[in-house]
Amino acid sequence: MTSSLTPEALVYGLKTAGDPQLSPDGEHIVFTLSQANDETQKVETQLWISDRDGGNQRQLTRSGKGNGTPRWSPDGSQIAFVSDRGEDERKGARGLFVMSFAGGDAREVTRHGQGISNLAWSPDGKSIAYNSEFDPDNPDEEKRDPEAAPPVRVTSRIDYKQDGMGYLGDKRQQVYIVDLASGERRKLTGRPNDFYFPVWSPDGKAIAAALPNRNGMNSQLVLLDIATGAETVIGPETGTISSWAWSPSGDRIVYTGDVAQTWQSDFFVYHVDTGGSRRITEDLQPLPAGMMFGSAAPVWLDDDRVLFNGTRAGASGLYVIDLSDGEVERSHRHDATSGGLSLDSGNRYAVQTHASFDSTGEISVYDRESGKLSVITSFNEEFLNEHPPARWEQIEIERNGYTIESWLLKPHDFDESKQYPLVMTIHGGPNGHYGYNYEPVQQILASNGFLVVLSNPRGSSSYGREFTMQVSEDWGGEDYQDLMAVVDTVLERPYADGDRTGIEGYSYGGYMTSWIIGQTERFKACVCGAPCFDLESMYGTSDISHTFGELQWGGQHHQSPEWYRDHSPSTFAHKATTPTLIIHGEADERCPIGQGEQMFIALKKAGCEVEFARYPGGAHGFRRMGPPAHREDLLGRTLGWMKDHLM
């Protein structure tokens, strides 16, 4: 018996396997398994382990509700991880633990009053480097008196706040090193800048880490001397770094990034002895996965060849680049989205997360010798049998010299003799992309009788730098025309009802939906999430727009006031007639809640039917990482709005 998806089923029924790590001998995989608990209203995460082929799966941790970041020791005898277990009552407190693979209780090595992340074993297995936040105003991490008045916030730095973390002041992520035998730790970095993702050199004398600036809009690579903490900074301050890895001998570092922010990374090699970098590629077509976005570092296969996880045209793949000539060869491509990249010491097996239009939350293993990919877990098989995923097809249109790629999702019981309402969903970024993935909003709409079209208009990533840069200084221009052309193409099909069309989008997708309803009356329903509504106010209130806006919108407001006016949805909102639901997190620092507030008032004054759903404490990413109850509510409201106005 099958049934349509409900918000409750999507939020509480699915399990997510993540962060898979292959043991050095290639025989075992440790990973996280997460699921939202409808009674506690919390997401609970435990460590699991299995054989490489998926056999002998078993739960590894049972204490605490949040266990993560599992990492094998270099010899494969121990597993380090982070956990909220223990009697520390401070909100967010975490401990770093080590357990023997042979069995026995986990041992706490060190603890912080806040999060611990990005664990990295030293080559000799005696120390672990990691990230944790350091507050110079509270260096001993003392618990604040809850009855005391909150401290006054005074800043002189432009990056004083960040989405998901709120007000920062001088609090920043630092690199710590802890000795496993004694538990003694020291802070390797000191200045009030973020230092992320420490990676040890093969000789254990240095660490390479990311040094982001401008709230992460730009970044550099920094080499940290273990003995002295001395820094060597690589790359221009206005450039970007997304992933990196030491060569086996430690004489070079391969890294991906660019000398400017172009939202497309290329490969570079840094030579440790000379201190110089050499650019390897000029316009890399697959978008390499970035450590800064939760993925994994590339892997050296020998002195010249490097394996990396990349995305091309919305599909994940494994690629090998020859650093001697820049030639890139695709080892494997599949209609799926893969995350992370962990290999055994012999570099034969590659382990990643796996999701597609047809599955989600699983683990895959790719055998580089045989060329075979195996999905080794089936945590959501029963769920997907009961709630079948959408049927899908890929669509391409040609417009003004560019191929625009889209996908059409259909109800699992689709009947082409019937007519269905159509919803276009629009991705964020603008330099994000859609692809072969299981997205809750898309799936719940398709499961409940809607056609859903998702598109990668110009400006989307995973199509090379030229295509990605086409949206710069053209928001609401050719990108809008691309999307309308895709809708027109789908509506040529007799089963798509042109009188029942809707739009849905979040972030830049929120910009585009708020833009569209001021340009046309063709849509009968709109769900607009976290919009960029008024670009002038957005510039001064968003945590990134003081840099992002100058790159995307042609400079500061006073330098191009006409452009800001002509490309702001607020300029045209008085024309809107489309019934609109606005959804917004009240703690959103990326697209601040004021953007949604301005839009709500503008539509109210225009006489447009509008509702405003505000989610207390919700940061920009609350749709994915917020409280389960809020995610359930969002899915229910989105589905309900589309049903009420299109069915």
Q: Classify residue 12: in a domain, yes or no.
A: yes
Do 400 and 469 share a structural domain? yes
Do 416 and 351 share a structural domain? no
Do 460 and 361 share a structural domain? no
Do 449 and 399 share a structural domain? yes
CA dihedral of 298, 300, 304, 305, whole degrees rounded to 10 = -60
Q: Classify residue 155: in a domain, yes or no.
A: no
Which CA distances in Å does 24 have to 29, 72, 79, 82, 322? 10, 8, 12, 20, 24
Domain that holds residue 480: 390-646
Q: Classify residue 82: in a domain, yes or no.
A: no
User: 32 with 18: CB under 8 angstroms?
Assistant: yes
Do 396 and 380 share a structural domain? no
Confidence of residue 101 (pLDDT cuts 50, 70, 90): very high
Q: Classify residue 171: in a domain, yes or no.
A: no
Sheet arrangement for strand 496-506: 391-399, 402-410, 451-456, 420-426, 496-506, 525-529, 580-585, 610-615
What average pLDDT does range 12-33 have in this prediction? 98
Over the stretch 131-175, which tens digit does the pLDDT of each residue have? 999 999 999 999 888 899 999 999 999 999 999 999 999 999 999
Do 381 and 412 share a structural domain? no
What average pLDDT does range 215-236 have in this prediction? 96
Q: Classify residue 110: in a domain, yes or no.
A: no
Do 395 and 521 share a structural domain? yes
Q: Classify residue 306: in a domain, yes or no.
A: no
Domain tally for the chain? 2
Do 445 and 369 share a structural domain? no
Do 397 and 377 share a structural domain? no
Tokens of 388: 């079948």
Percent of the chain past pLDDT 70, that is, above it, reads 100
What average pLDDT does range 40-63 have in this prediction? 96
Nearest alpha carbon to residue 287 among 306, 310, 266, 305? 310
Distance CA 263, CA 280 (A): 17
Residue 37: the pLDDT is: 95
Q: Is the pLDDT of residue 294 over 70?
A: no
Do 457 and 342 share a structural domain? no
Tell me which residue has tokens 């398709």: 446
Residue 145: the pLDDT is: 87
What average pLDDT does range 183-195 have in this prediction? 96
Do 428 and 570 share a structural domain? yes
Confidence of residue 586 (pLDDT cuts 50, 70, 90): very high
Q: Which amino acid is present at 300?
A: W
Nearest alpha carbon to residue 115 among 83, 71, 151, 73? 83
Do 642 and 587 share a structural domain? yes
- Report DSSP state, residue 518: T
Residue 400: the pLDDT is: 93
Over the stretch 343-374, which tens digit does the pLDDT of each residue have? 999 999 999 999 999 999 999 999 999 999 99
Cis omega (within 30 of 0) on the bond before 430?
Answer: yes
Q: Is the pLDDT of residue 90 over 90?
A: no
Cβ neighbors of 19 (< 8 A, separation 6 or more) are: 31, 32, 68, 69, 70, 340, 353
CATH number of the domain bearing residue 476: 3.40.50.1820
What average pLDDT does range 210-230 have in this prediction? 95
What average pLDDT does range 547-552 have in this prediction? 94
Q: Classify residue 200: in a domain, yes or no.
A: no
Show which of 387, 407, 430 is a domain's final residue: 387
SS3 content of the chain, % helix, strand, coil (to 5): 20, 35, 45
Residue 293: the pLDDT is: 66
Percent of the chain past pLDDT 90, that is, above it, reads 95
Core vs surface per residue 32-59: b (16+ CB within 10 A) or e? bbbbbeeeeeebebbbbbbebebeebee
Residue 89: the pLDDT is: 73
Show which of 369, 387, 405 is a domain's final residue: 387
Q: Classify residue 6: in a domain, yes or no.
A: yes
Distance CA 255, CA 629 (A): 40
Residue 291: the pLDDT is: 84
Over the stretch 554-565, which tens digit does the pLDDT of each residue have? 999 999 999 999
- Report DSSP state, residue 462: S
- Helix (H) or strand (E) holding 447, with range, is helix 440-447
Over the stretch 246-292, which tens digit does the pLDDT of each residue have? 999 999 999 999 999 999 999 999 999 999 999 999 999 999 998 86
Q: Do the bridges between strand 218-225 and strand 206-213 make them parallel or antiparallel, or are there none, so unpaired?
A: antiparallel
Q: Is the pLDDT of residue 1 over 90?
A: no
Q: Is 182 exposed, middle or buried (0-12, 13-18, 19+ CB in 10 A)?
A: exposed
pTM: 0.96
Show which of 387, 405, 424 is a domain's final residue: 387
Mean pLDDT of the chain: 96
